[in-house]
Structure 1
Amino acid sequence: MNNSHEQPPDELDADLLEGIAEIYDAIDPPPSSLDGEVLFALSHAALDAELATLLEAQMPALRSTDASPTDSITFTSSALQLMVRTAPDEDGGLRVDGWVTGGGLQVALYAGSIAHWATSDAHGRLLWRAIPHGRIRFLLQPADPQAKAVLTPVIEF
């Protein structure tokens, strides 16, 4: 072991620290849910986004036992609105066309853990290609750095 705190750690120091870590793992292990809780807390704190809601006009007026898929949906928040429409893409995935209130917004389409980024043009138009079917959500990042990001609920196409 090094006698001076100015010397870099050597192999013996590493072995001692590893032994101490093993003791703590044995007598006081971290809870199994700790990883997920920490990741959630970090994501929530870092994101600090407003949550968009589905536009009520999109909600069905009648309840039915038959499922009827939709190919478009609109989300709204206090500052932004996003409409998306899906269509089959040549590769078997989805083509997602979007329109957002305002140009120059960075919008991420999250399919699973993968973010597909697009920037809205001057008319608010967005396009994503080859998106896998399944659960997706959107993160809208306004051009103004002081404005809050907007996160949509998860939907399935």
Structure 2
Amino acid sequence: MSTTDDELMAALRALWQENDPVPADLAERMVAAVASDDLSREYALLTLVEDATAAVRGDTGTTTLQFSDGRVGVMLHVADAEGGGRRVDGWVDAESPAVVLEQGQKSWTAEPAEHGRFAFDRVPPGLYRLRLTVREDAGERVFSTPRFEI
């Protein structure tokens, strides 16, 4: 840019600052808007459901997790499997063509049966996220859980 261009840009900047200044709280509002944009997914309810019979039956290698965003609910039952892996049995209460279990760059896909049941066999322990496309009256949307450990 030439000196003339620099002067023109400075004059335009001064004009806009005088006639339409940036709101003082714009940065804070934008941070809040971006942070809350994904709230339904990131803050999906995660509940650890304790099985009172596990200690009696000696079945200590199981965990049950529930996720919900108020419209979609998912329940996972995680059990130890042979060879140090895990078996994940799940149920979704909404119509979904596929459920994807993601761990970093790896993923496993399952197709829910008629009543929303799905399963993943021989999954290595680690941090995961469950992602599924849910069919609703208004179309489709993605439901994703926060990360959880199995």
Scaled to the shorter chain, the TM-score interval is: 0.5 to 0.7
**Equivalent position amino acid for 2:111 in 1:** T
Partner of 1:147: 140
1:95 and 2:87 aligned:
yes
Residue in structure 1 matching 2:119, options 103, 120, 127: 127
Taking a change above 3 Å as real, the CA distance of residues 139 and 104 of structure 1, as seen in their structure-2 partners, is: closer
Residue in structure 2 matching 1:81, options 62, 68, 73: 73
CA distance, structure 1, for counterparts of residue 149 and residue 121 of structure 2:
16
CA distance, structure 2, for counterparts of residue 103 and residue 91 of structure 1:
33
CA distance, structure 2, for counterparts of residue 139 and residue 121 of structure 1:
16
The alpha carbon displacement at 1:130 in A equals: 1.1
Which range moved further: 101-110 or 91-100?
101-110
Q: Normalising by structure 2, report the TM-score.
A: 0.58
Partner of 2:103: 111
The alpha carbon displacement at 1:113 in A equals: 1.7
In the TM superposition, what are the counterparts of 1:22-37 in structure 2 within 5 Å? none
CA distance, structure 1, for counterparts of residue 149 and residue 61 of structure 2:
10
Q: Which ranges in structure 2 are unaligned for 5 or more consecutive residues?
A: 1-37, 51-59
SS at 1:140 equivalent: strand
In the TM superposition, what are the counterparts of 1:53-72 in structure 2 within 5 Å? 53-55=45-47, 58=49, 71-72=63-64
SS at 1:139 equivalent: strand
How many corresponding residue pairs? 102
**Equivalent position amino acid for 2:101 in 1:** L
Identity %: 30
Q: Normalising by structure 1, report the TM-score.
A: 0.55
1:86-137 alpha-carbon deviations (Å, 9 max, x no partner): 1112232110000110354311011222111111111110100111101011
Q: Which ranges in structure 1 are unaligned for 5 or more consecutive residues?
A: 1-47, 60-67
CA distance, structure 2, for counterparts of residue 101 and residue 130 of structure 1:
24
The answer to whether the 8 Å contact 2:65/2:77 transfers is: yes
- Higher-strand-fraction structure: 2
Taking a change above 3 Å as real, the CA distance of residues 80 and 139 of structure 1, as seen in their structure-2 partners, is: same
- Higher-helix-fraction structure: 2
CA distance, structure 1, for counterparts of residue 40 and residue 139 of structure 2:
13
The alpha carbon displacement at 1:147 in A equals: 2.2
The alpha carbon displacement at 1:70 in A equals: 6.3
Structure 1: which 4+ aligned runs deviate by more than 4 Å?
none
Q: CA RMSD in A?
A: 2.8
The alpha carbon displacement at 1:53 in A equals: 2.4
